[in-house]
Amino acid sequence: MKVLVVGGGGREHAIIKSLKKSPRVTEIFAAPGNGGIAADAVCTGIGAKDLPAIADFAKKEGIDFAVVAPDDPLVLGCVDLLEGEGIPCFGPNKAAAILEGSKVFSKDLMKKYKIPTAHYETFDDMQAALHYLETAPIPTVVKADGLALGKGVTIAETREQAVEAVRACMEDKVFGDSGSHIVIEEFLTGPEVSVLSFTDGKTVVPMISSMDHKRVGDGDTGPNTGGMGTVAPNPYYTEEMAQRCMKEIFLPTVEAMNAEGRPFKGCLYFGLMLTADGPKVIEYNCRFGDPETQVVLPLLESDLLTVMEATAKGILAETEVKFSHQHACCVVLASEGYPKQYETGFPITIPADLEAEVYVAGAKLDGEVLKTAGGRVLGVTALGESLQEAIDRAYAQAGKVTFANAYCRKDIGQRALQAGGTVK
């Protein structure tokens, strides 16, 4: 089968490497792909948001199955377009992708269907939002409605910061139209867990839980990033918690989307906070997480293509989805200075005998030479029988991958270890 993967980051590289293991996959194309992905797929260079060009390519190339990985093309309706051309797809259609595309939609859905989440108010009028902030409990959280490149969330420690965030969204329009609607919500505390799941709109099959490390610096300091590393499974997410989340959050969400006439098929990502009052939804994503995918898919023992096809066909209940009992750790190597200013264009050396998977995010080929081309350059994932072993291996192997100005966090997985991650 010829498979097309839309996207070009570390997540897509992990999806492609996993699909490559399927004996039924004959050729993989990426849109756009990147310099590292080029070792595992044909990179078309077609932008992930260039929907007409993607559909055109898929038709001409005779693509048998497409995987739309990033949020933007999903929210824009890439799956609708490809399915309209008769190409089966993994991913939600536009009507369902709104679950991530609009925070106002997702908050209202959770309220209507009593799915646990932070208390909130929505505003499309700035004066009303500012008035509300005069008496709102502090800290508070201000969120732009739309995608906002993952930067639309402000945790305001003071009333002044909250006012500033509201003005930035609604007056200065720093997130464009994304910020003309906002959500102001209760600040929650507790361990965070990412649970990616396969769902065909009837059955929900959660994947192994994981833990992201969003801040750039050790000890969770400094600005937010796209993710500096991950571990799986997440030790805070016990079997008992998993059962509770299935009953209180996962199935009710899928049923709520059906009741709204927006059945969700694809990867539904639950960003959860385990609060003293129980698990609550921080955010939904309509896609695989990055860099969660880089630790979750290496633990998948079943054939990814088969599971994705079953998801698209609505026969997930009859399909085995098996994960290994091992642990995984992904250490992201970034360009020094990320997420602010950084230099690129440095050659990357990856030893041929590396005992880990490398998932390339921001790199391009200059002739035969792979060079840095982004903030997050690549992720190094290793497995182990314990979390400690996975962490030690990931760091040992990441240390052998070199490029100028490389930076990584030194404490990926340490919080998980403290939570009991050594206990298998």
Residues that bind ligand AMP (CB under 6 A): 118, 141, 150, 153, 155, 185-188, 192, 214, 271, 282-283
Return the residue nearest ligand GLY (CB atom): 289
192 makes contact, choosing from ligand AMP, ligand GLY, none, with CB < 5 to 8 Å by partner type, with ligand AMP
How near is the Cβ of 107 to ligand AMP at its closest, in Å? 10
Q: How far apart are CA 86 and CA 96, in angstroms?
A: 19
Neighbours of 306 (CB within 10 A): 14
Q: Which C-beta is closer to ligand AMP: that of 289 or that of 413? A: 289
Assigned token pair, 233: 């499974």
Q: Which C-beta is closer to ligand AMP: that of 32 or that of 150? A: 150
How near is the Cβ of 423 to ligand AMP at its closest, in Å? 25
Q: Which residues bind ligand GLY (CB under 6 A)?
A: 212, 227, 285, 289-290, 292
187 makes contact, choosing from ligand AMP, ligand GLY, none, with CB < 5 to 8 Å by partner type, with ligand AMP
Cα–Cα–Cα angle for 112, 143, 246, nearest 5°? 45
How near is the Cβ of 374 to ligand GLY at its closest, in Å? 16
155 makes contact, choosing from ligand GLY, ligand AMP, none, with CB < 5 to 8 Å by partner type, with ligand AMP
Element (H, E) at 189: none
CA-closest candidate to residue 95, choices 77, 115, 113: 77
How near is the Cβ of 286 to ligand AMP at its closest, in Å? 13
How near is the Cβ of 212 to ligand GLY at its closest, in Å? 5
E strands within 139-203? 140-144, 153-156, 182-186, 192-199
Q: Which residue has the tokens 């570390």?
A: 10
State the DSSP string of 54-113.
HHHHHHHHT-SEEEE-SHHHHHHTHHHHHHHTT--EES--HHHHHHHH-HHHHHHHHHHT
How near is the Cβ of 29 to ligand AMP at its closest, in Å? 30
Q: Which C-beta is closer to ligand AMP: that of 47 or that of 271? A: 271
Q: Which C-beta is closer to ligand AMP: that of 64 or that of 283? A: 283
218 makes contact, choosing from ligand AMP, ligand GLY, none, with CB < 5 to 8 Å by partner type, with none
Report yes or no: 280 and 188 within 8 Å, Cβ to Cβ.
yes
153 makes contact, choosing from ligand AMP, ligand GLY, none, with CB < 5 to 8 Å by partner type, with ligand AMP
How near is the Cβ of 262 to ligand AMP at its closest, in Å? 20
292 makes contact, choosing from ligand GLY, ligand AMP, none, with CB < 5 to 8 Å by partner type, with ligand GLY
168-173 — which CB contacts under 8 Å span 24+ positions? 169/142, 169/144, 170/123, 170/126, 170/129, 171/126
Q: How far apart are CA 364 and CA 160, in angstroms?
A: 42
How near is the Cβ of 146 to ligand AMP at its closest, in Å? 12
The 3-state DSSP class for residue 35 equals coil
200 makes contact, choosing from ligand AMP, ligand GLY, none, with CB < 5 to 8 Å by partner type, with none
Q: Which C-beta is closer to ligand GLY: that of 227 or that of 266? A: 227
Q: Which C-beta is closer to ligand GLY: that of 155 or that of 404? A: 155
DSSP symbol at 391: H
Q: How far apart are CA 277 and CA 285, in angstroms?
A: 23
The 3-state DSSP class for residue 209 equals coil
Q: Which C-beta is closer to ligand AMP: that of 2 or that of 159? A: 159
State the DSSP string of 283-321.
EEESS--TTTHHHHGGGB-S-HHHHHHHHHHT-GGGS--
Q: How far apart are CA 195 and CA 271, in angstroms?
A: 7
How near is the Cβ of 289 to ligand AMP at its closest, in Å? 9
5 makes contact, choosing from ligand GLY, ligand AMP, none, with CB < 5 to 8 Å by partner type, with none
For 392, list phi and psi in degrees, rounded to 5: -60, -45
How near is the Cβ of 71 to ligand AMP at its closest, in Å? 11
Q: Which C-beta is closer to ligand GLY: that of 136 or that of 286? A: 286
118 makes contact, choosing from ligand GLY, ligand AMP, none, with CB < 5 to 8 Å by partner type, with ligand AMP
Q: Which C-beta is closer to ligand GLY: that of 123 or that of 284? A: 284
Q: Which residue has the tokens 């990320």?
A: 338
Q: How far apart are CA 42 and CA 28, in angstroms?
A: 6
Q: Which C-beta is closer to ligand GLY: that of 185 or that of 292? A: 292
**What is the total residue count of the chain?**
424
64 makes contact, choosing from ligand GLY, ligand AMP, none, with CB < 5 to 8 Å by partner type, with none
Residue 114: partners with Cβ closer than 8 Å, 6 or more residues away = 252
DSSP symbol at 18: H
